[in-house]
Amino acid sequence: MLNIVKIALRNLLRYKRRTLLTSLLITIGVLAVLLFSSITGAFKSLMVGQITDSMLGHLQVHKRGYVASIDNLPLHMNLRPKEMETIEKVLDALPEVEAYSPRIKFGGMFSNFEETTNIRLNGVDPEQEILTAPLLPKRMLQGAAGDALLRPGEILVPELLARGMKVKLGDTVVIVATNRDGSVNAQTLTVRGVLEGISGPGGRDGYIHIKDARTLLRIEKKEANEYAVRLKKADDLDKVHAELSAAFAGELNKEGKPKYEIHTWEKLSPFYNIARMIDVMTFFIKVMLIAIVLVSVMNVMIMAVFERMKEIGTIAAIGTRPGKILALFLVEGLSLGILGSAAGTLFSLAAIFALKVNPLSFDFGRQKGLVLSPTLDVNEIMIASVLVVLVSALASLQPAFKASRMEPVTAMRQV
């Protein structure tokens, strides 16, 4: 086999310019795929990280039908103390769950004593919320989370609202809300911080302490309408979703239907569709890479067979078996693929290193100056390399087969 590789490599070196150009083409293809998947991968993980780590968590548990009417933020679908107990018991039993946070989401009026506007609020337990959405404190543009994200009597105001209503840290504001029974209540709160608005559901919500939410909404017992769940490993998403679904399968409402619904962040955030679109684009870039490799390697190998007919006839005449002739050309094509993918990977690593030294920043919606930190996933390198090598083999197969099937007399007659 070593001799076949040696002869194949020497034949490649025999046509240096052609080999160089073909390898360069494959290199550019591999570079494009790896850079694209690396940069889009970094973008995806940045955005997904923001969505899951500062807002949604990886999973959410609600009462059945809550998500369908989430825009109304209904309070009559709150989880009762017994139900919360059941949910927490299940979540505590799952080793994959890192933390969870019960929330009361509701809509209200926000007043600075001069103007009034509407606001969506999350009543949260600060300790549990920080564990479930660890990036939430980093969204504070003004004020600092300090020893606690929130204390009772304090509010985190979304940036746009703070700017529009001209409220600053320490200002007193009034929140007016309608409770489940339709009666209105109000509470004064102090602005503890201003939160950066981010893309996605809940990205422009304010936060108050869950005790304040209960007081405002006149909820006497422990209640919530949402459980945000953070997993130790994001890859366990589907597994935990299945486990939770199974655990809650026995909990049925009066209509005999499941009492709770579990949604992954993918179902809750529209960004998931953008992420899928990015995946589709990556797929098509890979298809283009396949086309580049297929066409260039096949072209080179067809030329090689055409030009070396006499040589093929000679080696066949002196006793080289068809299988070895096939291997000779197959290895030649494979070597082109390996050479191109190795060079492409090296150049990609260099490009990623350059991007680390000079980070790439971009704006996404209202979010300015997001910094990408692309990394090259070993799996992506493996996929691109294996793809190139397989396609090179496939592209060489037909010319190699043709060479191996050639009759020595016919081949040697060619000039």
Partner 1 sequence: MSGKSLSEQEGLNSVPNAAARISTEATITRDPAEVRVGSAAGTGEEKAMSLVESKDLTKTYQAGEVEVKALKGISFAIEPASFVSFVGPSGSGKTTLLNLVGCLDKPTSGQLRVVGTDVATLGRAEGATFRGRNIGFVFQDFNLIPVLTVFENIEYPLLMVECCGARERRERVETLLEAVGMADQKKKFPSQISGGQKQRVAVARALVADPKLVLADEPTANLDHETAFMVINLMKSLKKERKTTFVFSTHDPKIVGEAEIVYTLEDGLVTNLEDRRAGHA
Per DSSP, the chain holds a count of helices (H) and strands (E) of 13, 12
Shortest distance in whole angstroms from residue 337 CB to partner 1 = 20
**Would you count residue 263 as binding partner 1 (CB under 8 A)?**
no
Shortest distance in whole angstroms from residue 4 CB to partner 1 = 8
Shortest distance in whole angstroms from residue 393 CB to partner 1 = 21
Query: Can you tell me the distance from the alpha carbon of 238 to that of 248, in angstroms, rounded to the nearest whole number?
Result: 15
| Closer of 201 and 408 to partner 1 (Cβ) | 408
Q: Which amino acid is at 106?
A: F
**Would you count residue 409 as binding partner 1 (CB under 8 A)?**
yes
**Would you count residue 307 as binding partner 1 (CB under 8 A)?**
no
**Would you count residue 382 as binding partner 1 (CB under 8 A)?**
no
- State the binding string over 156-195 for partner 1 (x if CB under 8 A, else -): ----------------------------------------
| Closer of 189 and 325 to partner 1 (Cβ) | 325
Find all residues with CB under 8 Å of 206, minimum gap 6, and list them.
Answer: 110, 119, 120, 121, 122, 155, 156, 157, 158, 161, 195
- State the binding string over 316-335 for partner 1 (x if CB under 8 A, else -): xxxxxxxxx-----------
Sequential DSSP letters for 162-210: HHHHT--TT-EEEEEEE-TTS-EEEEEEEEEEEEPP-SSTTTT-EEEEH
**Would you count residue 407 as binding partner 1 (CB under 8 A)?**
yes
Stretch of 81-89, 157-165, 229-237, 400-408 lying at the interface with partner 1 (CB under 8 A): 400-408
Shortest distance in whole angstroms from residue 319 CB to partner 1 = 2
30 within 8 A of 384, measured Cβ to Cβ: yes
Q: Which amino acid is at 104?
A: I
170 within 8 A of 189, measured Cβ to Cβ: no
**Would you count residue 14 as binding partner 1 (CB under 8 A)?**
yes
Shortest distance in whole angstroms from residue 1 CB to partner 1 = 11
**Would you count residue 89 as binding partner 1 (CB under 8 A)?**
no
**Would you count residue 311 as binding partner 1 (CB under 8 A)?**
yes
**Would you count residue 15 as binding partner 1 (CB under 8 A)?**
no
**Would you count residue 128 as binding partner 1 (CB under 8 A)?**
no
Sequential DSSP letters for 93-107: H-TTEEEEEEEEEEE
Query: Can you tell me the distance from the alpha carbon of 111 to that of 157, in angstroms, rounded to the nearest whole number?
Result: 12
Shortest distance in whole angstroms from residue 2 CB to partner 1 = 10
Query: Can you tell me the distance from the alpha carbon of 145 to that of 45, in angstroms, rounded to the nearest whole number?
Result: 24
| Closer of 151 and 324 to partner 1 (Cβ) | 324
Shortest distance in whole angstroms from residue 321 CB to partner 1 = 5
Beta-strand relationship, 116-124 and 206-209: parallel
| Residue of 5, 7, 234, 383 that binds partner 1 (CB under 8 A) | 7
Token pair, residue 7, equals 């002869």
Q: Which amino acid is at 390?
A: L
Find all residues with CB under 8 Å of 65, minimum gap 6, and list them.
Answer: 77, 261
Point out which residues bind partner 1 (CB under 8 A).
Answer: 3, 7, 10-11, 13-14, 310-311, 314-324, 405, 407-409, 412
